[in-house]
Structure 1
Amino acid sequence: MSFTSRPWHWSATVWVPASAASILVITLIGTRFAALDQPTARPLDVLGVALLVAGPVALVARRRFPPAVLIATVVVVTVYLAAGFPFGPVFLAPLVALCSAVLAGHRWVAYLTTAAAVLVLVVVHMLRNPGALPLAGAAAWVAVLAAVIAACEGWRARRERLVQAAAAQEQAALRRRSDERLRIAQELHDVLGHHVSLINVQAGVALYLMDDDPEQARSALTAIKQSSRDLLREMRATLGVLRGVDTEPPHHPVPGIADLGALVTDVRSAGLPVEMRVEGDVADLPPAVDRAAYRIVQEALTNTRRHAGPATATVLLVYAADELTVQVEDDGSWPVWAGEDGGGNGVAGMRERAQALGGSSEIGPRPEGGFRVRVHLPVPARRDTGVGR
């Protein structure tokens, strides 16, 4: 494992004991020099040095046991001062322990322990100096502690915001990956369903006419070859996106409404009579709406060929100012409709395409017989091309 892949390991095993050792050195040396100006204090002996060492040493465990370490350092300092030893930088260890407890989220333990420590130290000071009420000193320490706690709370809040932002980014990335998988699954379903259905029909025609009408059989085989070529091309483009290997733009444009004429021709050649009508002023569409409209018509016609039996179909596109309506209906004899949840993957895919664009769908049997797919797709700020006027 490389060094750069273990920053947290380095922080936990080196930084924590190194910082505790630094505080120990500062405490010992600083207290030694501070004692020179306190002739009435108890001279540092083995007990005093042991107490000075105990607080910084306890800081080694502050990441695992923040409240316990805070209480331990406060008790050590209280005993040290109550024993009459000289003042000095003995409060460094409790301050660091206080910060660790607040940052770890043990806020109330830290607040109560700090308040109790201030009261006890005031009492100790009054016992060591009878008749002296350290109001100024106590106020100064309270101000220092308030500033330290405020800084720790600010740092903790910032760290929590960073964690929440990272979690939100991860969730957004998961949603994007999920949406992309769903889009690719829909593309594969529509592409496979359409082309494989055409190939199956044309293969049946070729087998049936092989002996009696070789020329018609040849036309069916030619249609099979073309459908298989289109299938392979679209499969390669879709799987290339899934693998992430296609860094160049696709050589063939994504199918859209402009390709519906070729789609209808293929469906007619497979034996399903189809009429196509366009109402309203034809205009440019956003790519997502253009692709969704094509796929919805493709899937609806594929379902008609599979389930409607002998039938005729009608494809209707209605352009409005802020909406495109796509309707595909037939007059076939469909099996019993299984309801909203029983329409199979194709119906679910059409609904999902509409919902993803903020549109709506009406899919089900017609009262007069047959089946209807009607989808409304919102089209914001379309630019009129004048085509079809």
Structure 2
Amino acid sequence: MEEHIRRVGFGPPWIRGPYLSGADDGRGVWRLPWFSSVLVAVFVSIGSGFAAHAQQDRESLDALARALLLVGPALLVVRYRYPVLCVIGVALSATLYLGAGYAYGPIFVTVAVACFAAVVSGHRKAAWSAIGLLWAGHLLVGHLLYRYLPPSGDVGAPWGPELGVAAWVAAVLVGSELVRVRREQWLHDRRERAAAEARRADEERLRIARELHDVLAHSISVINVQAGVGLALLDSDREQARTALTTIKAASKEALGEVRQVLDTLRTSGDAPRTPAPGLDRLPELVEQAAGAGLGVELETEGDPVALSPGADLAAFRIVQEALTNVVRHSGSRTARVRVGYGDGLLTLRIDDAGPATGDEAGGSGNGLVGMRERAAALGGTIDAGPRPDGGFRVRASLPLKPKETP
């Protein structure tokens, strides 16, 4: 069931109670459990007739008896909406039935159903009180008041059968408690699953947001720089302006391809992407794109390169990409140095520029460093970013070196 437990109805909270909203048709229209209540009414009426025929020493079923037999099933109709009122009313009607001297029989089924509904809905005290009231009434009628109540000439009931009655009461209560505990566990598990699904959805949204931010921020920064160059040189140096437009075209094509790849993962959930995710093997392309934006990048590798897992490879590439994008946006330097190191169980990335900072936000969202830290933290790594003593800026990332698994 996908519906939640709701509290509905009118009257004070101690009377009404939560019910399984399977009685709700999905449009907020409350439905009564007519069918089950009618079945109980038919069973109790027919069964009590057979019981009265077998117990000739008890009062025969008259109009009052028939009415009391139907009161319980009628109250069961509202057992989900008013469980306390239902269980107490059913117990009283059964007590009156027994006090009037009618035959013992399936009227106790009505009490069991009402008690079950009250316990499962959380009204344990009401259920215990109601069934205790019925038991006390039974003891009084059978052992003390029988002289003054019908049928005439009745004798006191023996104490031996009371053990059977006590066992029946215990069985009803224990069964109800077991169902209540199981239902609460089911609800708890469902809430846990819903919370886990919500967490996974949030993590996926963050991942997609980081991907789109890194792809668009880098490419649009290149486009922004080259557009400025093209505008400045449009009249004086048409050839250089043409080169800037060519770079804009290539950067926009690259951005469209990567955005399409991210969107494909949304459209084809669970399928492998049609194009491989970028990794450190594409750093030369990244250096070439940075050169198109007027940034000279020196790339160094230390240690023996290791084939990384797809997640680590993508994260390392995006960290370098974002760091170079920030150099293009916020640094007055036109050169940067990227060092990739393998060793001691760590992949280290260090991106330096000579500065100084321009103070120009260049339309940035301020989420670049946050995204880098999130990527590193997701892999158990760290990011250190800040100004250098000589006035430049340094980004240093340390990621656990988890080689790619081979089939």
Match for 2:323 among 300, 303, 325? 300
Aligned-CA RMSD value: 2.8
Could you tell me which residue of structure 1 aligns to residue 389 of structure 2?
A: 367
State percent identity of aligned pairs: 43
Q: 1:379 to 1:337 in 2, by over 3 A?
A: farther
- 3-state SS, counterpart of residue 160 of structure 2: helix
Letter in 1 for 2:284: G
Distance 1:112 1:92 in 2: 17
> Would you say 1:188 and 2:212 are equivalent positions?
yes
Could you tell me which residue of structure 2 aligns to residue 25 of structure 1?
A: 42
Letter in 1 for 2:375: R
Distance 1:152 1:194 in 2: 63
1:286/1:379 contact within 8 Å kept = no
| Offset of residue 357 of structure 1 | 1.8
Distance 1:354 1:74 in 2: 64
Distance 1:248 1:196 in 2: 29
> Would you say 1:142 and 2:142 are equivalent positions?
no
Distance 2:157 2:110 in 1: 26
> Would you say 1:276 and 2:299 are equivalent positions?
yes
> Would you say 1:160 and 2:174 are equivalent positions?
no
| Superposed CA offset, 1:131-152 (max 9, x none) | 7464322211221222222222
Q: 1:315 to 1:119 in 2, by over 3 A?
A: same
Q: Is the deviation greater in 226-235 or in 327-336?
A: 327-336
> Which consecutive residues of structure 2, in runs of 5 or more, have no partner in the other structure?
1-20, 148-153
Distance 1:255 1:123 in 2: 84
The count of aligned residue pairs is 374
Could you tell me which residue of structure 2 aligns to residue 97 of structure 1?
A: 114
Could you tell me which residue of structure 2 aligns to residue 334 of structure 1?
A: 357
Q: 1:381 to 1:361 in 2, by over 3 A?
A: same
Could you tell me which residue of structure 2 aligns to residue 224 of structure 1?
A: 248
Distance 2:400 2:101 in 1: 81
TM-score (normalizing by structure 1)? 0.87
| Superposed CA offset, 1:96-149 (max 9, x none) | 111111111111221222223212211211132787464322211221222222
Distance 2:368 2:82 in 1: 57
> Would you say 1:173 and 2:197 are equivalent positions?
yes
Distance 2:308 2:279 in 1: 10
> Would you say 1:253 and 2:271 are equivalent positions?
no
Trace 1:8-23 onto structure 2 (pairs within 5 A).
8-9=23-24, 13=31, 16-23=33-40
| Superposed CA offset, 1:273-319 (max 9, x none) | 22111112210111111001111111111111111113421111121
1:199/1:227 contact within 8 Å kept = yes
Distance 2:23 2:56 in 1: 46
> Which consecutive residues of structure 1, in runs of 5 or more, have no partner in the other structure?
1-5, 385-389
Q: Is the deviation greater in 63-72 or in 33-42?
A: 33-42
TM-score (normalizing by structure 2)? 0.83
Q: Is the deviation greater in 125-134 or in 230-239?
A: 125-134
Q: Is the deviation greater in 204-213 or in 190-199?
A: 204-213
Trace 1:70-149 onto structure 2 (pairs within 5 A).
70-126=87-143, 127-128=145-146, 132=156, 134-149=158-173
1:122/1:134 contact within 8 Å kept = no
| Offset of residue 8 of structure 1 | 4.4
Q: 1:159 to 1:318 in 2, by over 3 A?
A: same
> Would you say 1:240 and 2:264 are equivalent positions?
yes
